[in-house]
């Protein structure tokens, strides 16, 4: 995919844009205030594609994005998994022993808690809207006592230097992103199917749906229940299963499941890079 | 429960403490920097009980807390559900038309997006560590142009007045909290069982576990898969089911399931208020 205009949430250099760049190396990017605006830009043909985060291995699913996918008429056409590599960035000439303020998104601060602890009590932490905003704030301030926890790409983007790499508590920190389009489209190699459904009020209803997938050897890649707003003891399920709707056995199983569920939405069939 | 010392994360007036107060109206509260420190305080007998958030109906599970429960030797003994009622607080004498800065936790800002939109572009948003910190910052600044999105309790606590109630996009905003203790203990009325388990690599393994619950008429209250850090295509499952371990049929089913799962941890059997 190339030459497309891609809708992203946030700021240049934020992880959403890094994911969009991984999916569309030659794309141009338009930035929107929130996830809803990204989906609206795609639905109203302002952008051909949009990129949205759907799950972080530490923080879980982005339920706001699921809600948008359930409601807006857009389809998932690709996915990507981005490793989050936090680094400590500062203005050129700054030294580690002089740092007194660390800016980052709250999750960035949380994910580097052990490293931040080694800096001692003299350092204050400043939560920002995202990690790219943190880097920009440090750059614009020119403050030699300030540093940002941000992506390596933001060092180049905002003229900062890397004070320390690999500062996250865990190496296994990644976020899954989805690429959405207005029209449903199954690209070659699509092997992941995303669904949202509700179940009838019957013990064993979920076991029955999962049994269908198992009978067809469709591996379950993700399953999550989420309360339905305003209905206290009812749940939506988000499920990802392996398979291609071009396989008649798979589409027959999906049709069967659609028939079993009071609400059912096929979000897309796509490949994750 | 009364007269106990309860460990909470955060600050007086933050939602964690409101939940602790709902669970222990006569308790004294000790505040800790993070969730891990709350669990450690309980495990090391510094506090008899601890209170931790486990799930928000909008933002999903607090996976950090699940990780702590899986690792630390503590048990869930009670639960509570707290409705989040955001209000706009300001210094006495401030008026709505004069507000230029709104402080809150990022989730508070996100949950009141529609209301904030009505204030127009002249208002800037300032993310804070939690909603109680936001209220305190407004109070300490004495700034008549500043307001905080926070709980009604923080108005009293920090001497602020309520500029506007009911500013959240949705009324259905609640967080579930857990009360943990060092020793496992099943209090009268316990009807919710929380488990963490992994499954053998066999299609249908989950359907089989859920089938056991269904056969015993144990309703599934929550189910979620979460990737295991460092093992790319393996999952943990978090499950809540209805039942009491004092019922021999229930404990027999749990024993059966324990036998089927490579990893299995019983987190507790408790009642949620």
Beta-carbon separation of A225 and B222 below 8 A:
yes
- Measure CB to CB from residue B224 to each of A127, A215, A225 and give the nearest one: A225
Interface of A with B in 118-137 (CB under 8 A): 127-129
The interface predicted TM-score of the complex, written ipTM, equals 0.71
Segment A197-215 shows an average pLDDT of 88
Choose among B34, B129, B203: nearest Cβ to A214: B203
At residue A233, the pLDDT reads 59
Span A193-272 CATH architecture: 2-Layer Sandwich (3.30)
CA-to-CA distance for A139 and B194, rounded, in angstroms?
47
Q: Do B58 and A61 touch (CB under 8 A)?
A: no
pLDDT for A189 equals: 93
- Evaluate the CA torsion angle A16, B116, B14, B185 in order and state its sign: negative
Per the CB < 8 A criterion, the answer to whether B213 and B258 are in contact is no
Identify the pLDDT of residue A92: 96
Dig out the tokens for A262 from the structure.
């009071």
Within 137-176 of B, beta carbons closer than 8 Å to A belong to 170-172
Share of chain B above pLDDT 70, in %: 97
As given in the structure block, the two tokens for residue B109 are: 């800002």
CA distance B33 to B28: 17
CATH architecture assignment, domain A87-164 = 3-Layer(aba) Sandwich (3.40)
Assess whether A24 carries a catalytic annotation.
Answer: no
pLDDT digits (tens, 9 = 90+) for B224-270: 988 776 666 678 899 999 999 999 999 999 999 999 999 999 999 99
User: Which two structure tokens, joined as six digits, stand for B7?
Assistant: 């460990």
Q: In whole angstroms, what is the distance from residue A67 CA to residue A228 CA?
A: 10
CATH topology of domain A5-84+173-181: D-Maltodextrin-Binding Protein; domain 2 (3.40.190)
Question: Do B5-83+173-181 and B87-164 come out as alike in CATH topology?
Answer: yes
3-state secondary structure B127-194: EECCHHHHHHHHHHHCCCCEEEEECHHHHHHHCCEEEECCCCCCCCCEEEEEEEECCCCCCCCCCEEE
Provide CATH code, domain B192-270. 3.30.70.260
* Number of alpha helices (DSSP H) and beta strands (DSSP E) in chain A: 9, 15
Write out pLDDT tens, residues B169-221: 877 788 899 999 999 899 999 999 999 999 987 778 899 999 999 888 898 99
Structural tokens at position A162: 């890397």
Catalytic residue among A11, A40, A131, A175: A175
Which residue from B162, B154, B179 is spatially nearest to B50, judged by alpha carbons?
B179
Report domain B5-83+173-181's class: alpha beta
- What are the structural domain ranges in chain B? 5-83+173-181, 87-164, 192-270
Q: What is the DSSP letter of A51?
A: E
Q: pLDDT digit string (tens) for A64-82?
A: 898 899 888 899 999 999 9
Determine the distance in angstroms separating the CA of A232 from the nearest CA of chain B, rounded to an integer: 9
- Whole-number mean pLDDT of chain A? 90
CB < 8 Å to B210, chain A: 204, 206-207, 210
**Among B204, B250, B253, the residue to mutate for chain A (most A Cβ within 10 A):** B204
B225 closest CB neighbour out of A171, A217, A222: A222
Q: Are A23 and A51 in contact (CB under 8 A)?
A: yes
């Amino acid at each position: 995919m190339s030459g497309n205009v891609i809708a992203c949430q946030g700021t240049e250099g934020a992880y959403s844009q890094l994911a969009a760049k991984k999916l569309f190396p030659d794309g141009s990017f338009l930035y929107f205030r929130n996830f809803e605006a990204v989906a609206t830009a795609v639905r109203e043909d302002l952008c051909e594609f949009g990129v949205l985060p759907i799950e972080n291995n530490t923080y879980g699913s982005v339920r706001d994005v699921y809600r948008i996918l359930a409601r807006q008429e857009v389809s998932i056409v690709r996915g990507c998994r981005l490793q989050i590599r936090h680094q400590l960035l500062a203005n050129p000439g700054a030294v580690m022993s002089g740092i007194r303020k660390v800016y980052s998104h709250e999750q960035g601060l949380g994910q580097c808690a052990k490293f931040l602890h080694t800096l001692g009590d003299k350092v204050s932490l400043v939560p920002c809207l995202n990690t790219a905003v943190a880097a920009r704030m440090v750059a614009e301030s020119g403050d030699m006592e300030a540093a940002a926890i941000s992506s390596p790409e933001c060092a180049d983007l905002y003229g900062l230097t890397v004070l320390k790499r690999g500062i996250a508590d865990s190496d296994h920190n990644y976020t899954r992103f989805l690429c959405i389009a207005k029209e449903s489209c199954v690209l070659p190699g699509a092997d992941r199917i995303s669904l949202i459904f509700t179940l009838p009020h019957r013990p064993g209803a979920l076991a029955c749906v999962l049994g269908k997938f198992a009978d067809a050897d469709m591996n379950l890649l993700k399953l999550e229940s989420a309360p339905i707003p305003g209905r206290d003891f009812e749940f939506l399920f988000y499920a990802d299963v392996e398979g291609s709707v071009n396989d008649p056995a798979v589409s027959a199983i999906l049709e069967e499941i659609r028939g079993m569920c009071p609400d059912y939405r096929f979000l897309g069939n796509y490949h994750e890079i």
